[in-house]
Amino acid sequence: MGKSSLSASNSSLTNIALPYAKALYDLAMEKKAISATEKSLINIASLADKNPQFASILSSPVISTNQKITVIEAILKKAKTSDIVANFIRLVAKNNRLFALNAMIFAFSDIAAKGRKEVTAEVISAKPLSASQLKSLSQSLKKKNGKTVKLKTHVDADLIGGLIVKVGSQMIDNSLQTKLSAMKNAMKEVG
| Topology match between the domains 11-114 and 118-190 | no
**17, 8 contact by CB (below 8 A):** yes
Domain range annotation of the chain:
11-114, 118-190
**pLDDT tens sequence for the chain (191 residues):** 444 433 344 578 888 999 999 999 999 999 999 999 999 998 888 887 788 888 788 788 888 888 888 888 888 887 788 899 999 999 999 998 988 998 999 899 989 988 888 888 889 998 999 999 999 998 988 888 888 888 888 898 888 888 899 887 788 888 878 888 888 888 888 76
Asked whether the beta carbons of 99 and 59 are under 8 A apart, the reply is: yes
pLDDT of residue 4: 40
Indicate the CATH number for domain 11-114: 1.10.520.20
pLDDT of residue 78: 79
Domain 118-190, CATH number (from 3.90.550, 3.30.300, 3.40.390, 3.40.30): 3.40.30
Strand 148-155 and strand 118-125: pairing? parallel
3-state secondary structure string across the chain: CCCCCCCCCCHHHHHHHHHHHHHHHHHHHHCCCHHHHHHHHHHHHHHHHHCHHHHHHHHCCCCCHHHHHHHHHHHHHHHCCCHHHHHHHHHHHHCCCHHHHHHHHHHHHHHHHHHCCEEEEEEEECCCCCHHHHHHHHHHHHHHHCCEEEEEEEECHHHCCCEEEEECCEEEECCHHHHHHHHHHHHHHHC
